[in-house]
A and B are shown apart, each in its own frame.
Chain A
Amino acid sequence: MPLVFVGVCSHAPGITGRAERADPRQRETFHAALDRLRLAIAASRPAALIVVAAEHFANFFMNNMPAFALGMADRYEGPIEDESWLRIPHACVPGNADLSRRLISHVLEEVDVAYAEEWKFDHGIIVPLHFLTPSYDLPIIPANINCQGPPLTPLHRAYAFGRALRHAADAVPERIALIGTGGISHWPATPNSGKINEAWDREFLDRWIANRPARLLSYTDEETYRNAGQGGFEIRTFIAAAGAAEGSTGEIWCYEPIPIFAVGCTVGVMRLTP
C-alpha cells in the first residue's frame, strides 16, 4: 500500500518530565496539536507506525554506530530513563518482526541500513508514543538516524533514507504510517538548555513544508551547530520524513518555543499526494 501518513513532532524529555513548569497556554496548545496528530494517525488506519528517531545512546554507541538502523522485533521496551525522571512508566511496546524484515529488505535496495532485533526506547520514541499511541496498541517499527556521534550522515542521505522507507512501505500490503521525531534548534543537556533560535526554526519549518530538496538539504553541519546547536543535528529526522513524502508539501500544526522543554515544540504533517 502507499504510505498512508507522514508527520513530525518533538520528543524532548522535558515535555513529560518537566511538564508543570511550562507556560500552561503554550503547553495546552502543544498538547492539543499532539492529540490532533494522534487522531490523524488513527484516521489513516495504519497497520504499523514507523518512528524515525534520533536516539541518545540507548542502543547504539560509538563502538559500532550505524548511520541508519531499523528495528526487527515483535516487542520493544522503554523508556530506559528513570520513570520518575521522565514520568512515563516502563512498558512493552508491540512491534512486527515479519513486517520489519520485509521493509528492511526493500530499504536495503537503496540504503545500507542496520537491523536490530533488540531495541530499548528512550525519550526520543517513548515521549511521542506517550501522546500518539498511549495504549501502545499499534505495532511500532523503530528507525534511527545517528544524530549524536559525529561523523554524521549527510542530509541528502537522510532524505534518501526517508525516500527508501516510502518505497518499502509502498511495496508491502500493509498500511504504513510514518513520523519523524526530533528537535530543531536546541541546546539540550548543556548550560544553554532552554535557548531556542525561533527565527532559524521558522525558516527551517518553511523549508520543510515546501519540501524542495535543494533548499531543505542546503544546511551545512557547521551552520546548524552555530545557529541551532548540537540538538539541531536532529533535523535529519524531519528531513527523512520529508523524503518519505517527496513530491508532497506540508503544514505546521504547532510551533511553540517552550524553554523549560528545551525546544520549539512542533507538530507538522505532510499532505500526501495519492
Chain B
Amino acid sequence: MSLYYVQKLLYQINRDPDFRTRFKADAKASLADFALTPQEIAAILAPDIGLLYVLGVNGQLLMHFAALHGFEWNAYLDAMREGVRRHGAVRAGIYAMSED
C-alpha cells in the first residue's frame, strides 16, 4: 500500500507543467521514481478513476487527474460511484462517499 506516493505523483502532475508533459509523453517511465504497487500502477495508467478514488486518493488531487484525462464533471462523479460499486467503500482518507 503506497497511497502516499500515488498522491505525490498526482500532486506533481497537477502542479508541475514539465512533469505533466513527461507524464503525457511516457506515463510508465514517469512513474519510475515512485514506490507503487502493480495495482496502483495499473490504476494510474488506465486510468481507473474509480479505483483510485476507492484506494483513498484525496479528491482535490484526483479531480484534476480526471480532468487531465478529459473526464467531464458528471463523468468524473459517475466514475467514482462506479468505483465504489466495483471495489467497495473508500479505504482511506477523508473523501469517502456518504450514504445519505
Chain A residues near B (Cβ < 8 Å): 14, 17-18, 56-59, 61-63, 80-82, 85, 120, 148-150, 187-193, 195, 225, 229-230, 233
- Closest-by-CB residue of A relative to B98 is A192
- Are B96 and A190 closer than 8 Å at their CB atoms? yes
On chain B, the number of residues with a Cβ less than 8 Å from chain A's Cβ atoms is 25
Top 9 A-B pairs ranked by shortest CB distance? A189-B59, A56-B60, A230-B94, A189-B63, A191-B97, A191-B81, A191-B80, A85-B67, A80-B15
> How far is B67's CA from A59's CA once the two chains are assembled, in angstroms?
19
> How far is B63's CA from A226's CA once the two chains are assembled, in angstroms?
22
- Are A191 and B94 closer than 8 Å at their CB atoms? no
Given contacts A187-B98, A230-B94, contact A58 B15 (CB under 8 A): yes
Give the chain A neighbours of B63 by CB distance below 8 A: 188-189
Chain B residues near A (Cβ < 8 Å): 4, 7-8, 11, 14-15, 58-64, 67-68, 73, 77, 80-81, 84, 94-98
Give the chain B neighbours of A120 by CB distance below 8 A: 15
Interface of A is mostly: loop
- Are B98 and A18 closer than 8 Å at their CB atoms? no
Give the chain A neighbours of B14 by CB distance below 8 A: 57-58, 80-81
- Closest-by-CB residue of A relative to B62 is A189
Given A62-B7, A189-B59, A190-B95, 13 more A-B residue pairs with CB atoms under 8 Å apart are A17-B73, A57-B14, A57-B58, A57-B60, A81-B64, A82-B67, A85-B67, A148-B60, A188-B59, A190-B96, A191-B97, A192-B97, A195-B98
In the complex, 15 of the A-B residue pairs with CB atoms within 8 angstroms, ordered by the A residue number, are A17-B73, A57-B14, A58-B15, A63-B8, A81-B67, A82-B67, A85-B67, A189-B58, A189-B60, A191-B80, A191-B84, A192-B98, A193-B77, A225-B94, A230-B94
> How far is B11's CA from A131's CA once the two chains are assembled, in angstroms?
27
